[in-house]
Amino acid sequence: MLFCPKCKSIMMPKKVGAKTVFACSCGHTSEAGVATITESVKKPEQREVAAVEKEVEIHAKTDAECPTCKHKEAYTWDKQTRAGDEPPTKFFKCLKCKHTWRDYK
Q: Range of 8's domain?
A: 2-31
Q: 7-46, pLDDT tens digit by residue?
A: 888 888 888 788 788 888 888 887 755 454 566 788 888 8
Largest CA distance in the chain: 96
H/E element, 94 = strand 89-94
Specify whether the CB–CB gap between 61 and 75 falls below 8 A: yes
Residue 54: inside a domain: no
Query: Exactly one of 57, 65, 86, 103 is catalytic; which is it?
Result: 86
Choose the catalytic residue: 39, 55, 63, 85. 85
* Cα angle 45-43-38, degrees, rounded to a multiple of 5: 155
The question of whether 45 is a catalytic residue gets the answer no
Residue 42 inside a domain? The answer is no
Question: DSSP 3-state assignment of 20?
Answer: strand
Query: Does the residue 55 lie in any domain?
Result: no
pLDDT at 63 over 70: yes
Per the structure, the count of domains in the chain is: 2
Which CATH number do you get for residue 77?
Answer: 2.20.25.10
If one counts every other C-beta atom within 10 angstroms of the C-beta of residue 92, the result is 21
Asked if residue 102 lies in contact with residue 90, where contact means CB atoms within 8 angstroms, the answer is: yes
49 in any annotated domain: no
